[in-house]
Amino acid sequence: MTRNNTKLSERIFNGKNIVIAIPFIWLLILFLFPFLIVLKISFAEYIIAIPPFSSFFLWDDTFWPTIQASLYNYKFILEDSLYITAYLSSLKVAIISTMITLVIGYAIAYSIAKAPTRWRGILLMLVILPFWTSFLIRVYAWIGILKTEGLLNLFLLSTGIIDQPLTIMNTNLAVYIGIVYSYLPFMILPIYANIEKLDVSLIEAASDLGCRPFKAFWSITIPLSMPGILAGCFLVFIPAVGEFVIPDLLGGTETLMIGKVLWLEFFANRDWPLASAVAVILLALLILPIMYYQKMQEKTLT
Partner 1 sequence: MNKFTKFNLASLIIGFSFLYIPIILLVIFSFNESRLVTVWAGFSTKWYTELFNNQSIKDATIVTAQVAFISSTIATILGTIAGIVITRFGRFKGRTLFSGMIYAPMVIPEVIIGLSLLLTFVALAINRGILTVTLAHITFSMCYVAVVVQSRMSSYDDSITEAALDLGCTPLKTFLVITLPIIMPAVISGWLLSFTLSLDDLVIASFTSGPGATTLPMKIYSMVRLGVTPEINAVSTILVGLVALGVVSAALINKYQISKQI
Partner 2 sequence: MNETTKTKVTPISNKKPFIQFQQVTKKFGDFTAINNITLDIYNNEFFSLLGPSGCGKTTLLRMLAGFEKPTTGKILLDGEDITYVPPHLRPINMMFQSYALFPHMTVEKNIAFGLKQDKLPVNKINQRVDEMLELVELTDFAKRKPNQLSGGQCQRVALARSLAKQPKLLLLDEPLGALDKRLREQTQFELMNIQEKLGITFIIVTHDQEEAMTVSSRIGVMDTGNVIQVASPNQIYEEPATKDVAEFIGNVNLFEGVYEGFNKTGTKLKCEHSDSFVYSSQQIDIELGAKIWLAVRPEKLEISKSLPSYKHNILKGKVVDIGYGGSFSTYHVQLKNGNMLSAVRANRERTFERSITWDDEVYLHWSTKSAIVLTG
> Which residues of this chain interact with partner 2, rule CB under 8 A?
1-2, 4
Q: Which is nearer to partner 2, 2 or 9 (CB)?
A: 2
- Compute CA 62 distance to the chain's CA centroid, rounded to the nearest angstrom: 46
8 Å CB contact between 265 and 275: yes
Q: Which is nearer to partner 1, 4 or 62 (CB)?
A: 4
Measure CA of the first residue to CA of the last residue in the chain; give whole Å.
32
Burial of 160 (0-12, 13-18, 19+ CB in 10 A): exposed
Of these partners, partner 1, partner 2, none, which one is at the site of residue 229 (CB under 5 to 8 Å by kind)? none
Rounded distance, CA 247 to CA 234, Å?
Answer: 20
**Nearest C-alpha neighbor of 238 from the set 131, 38, 83, 90:** 90
Please report how close the Cβ of residue 1 comes to partner 2 at its closest, in angstroms.
5
Q: Which is nearer to partner 2, 1 or 301 (CB)?
A: 1
Candidate segments 2-10, 16-24, 59-67, 78-86, binder of partner 1 by CB under 8 A: 16-24
Rule CB under 8 A: which of 253-272 touch partner 1?
Answer: 259, 262-263, 266-267, 272
HEC string of 38-72 equals HHHHHCCCCCCCCCCCCCCEECCCCCCCEECCCCH
Q: Which is nearer to partner 2, 10 or 254 (CB)?
A: 10
Residue at 3: amino acid letter = R
Of these partners, partner 2, partner 1, none, which one is at the site of residue 204 (CB under 5 to 8 Å by kind)? partner 1
- Does residue number 252 form part of the binding site for partner 1 (CB under 8 A)? no
Please report how close the Cβ of residue 10 comes to partner 2 at its closest, in angstroms.
12
- Paired strand residues for 66: 58
Candidate segments 3-11, 64-72, 78-86, 140-148, binder of partner 1 by CB under 8 A: 140-148
- Does residue number 190 form part of the binding site for partner 1 (CB under 8 A)? no
Please report how close the Cβ of residue 259 comes to partner 1 at its closest, in angstroms.
5
Among 150, 165, 227, 252, binds partner 1 (CB under 8 A): 150
Q: Which is nearer to partner 1, 139 or 171 (CB)?
A: 139
Among 129, 162, 222, 226, binds partner 1 (CB under 8 A): 129
8 Å CB contact between 256 and 24: no
Query: 235-256 b/e with 16+ CB inside 10 Å = b?
Result: bbbbbbbbbebbbbbbbeeebb
- Does residue number 136 form part of the binding site for partner 1 (CB under 8 A)? yes
Rounded distance, CA 259 to CA 169, Å?
Answer: 19
DSSP 8-state symbol, 198: S
Angle of helix 172-196 versus helix 226-241 axis, rounded to 10: 150
Rule CB under 8 A: which of 46-105 touch partner 1?
Answer: 51, 104
Among 174, 229, 243, 247, binds partner 1 (CB under 8 A): 243
Please report how close the Cβ of residue 163 comes to partner 1 at its closest, in angstroms.
18
8 Å CB contact between 257 and 86: yes
Please report how close the Cβ of residue 6 comes to partner 2 at its closest, in angstroms.
8
Binding residues with partner 1: total (CB under 8 A): 91
- Across the chain, the runs of DSSP E, i.e. the strands, are 57-58, 66-67
Among 86, 184, 187, 229, binds partner 1 (CB under 8 A): 184
Please report how close the Cβ of residue 44 comes to partner 1 at its closest, in angstroms.
10
DSSP 8-state symbol, 253: T
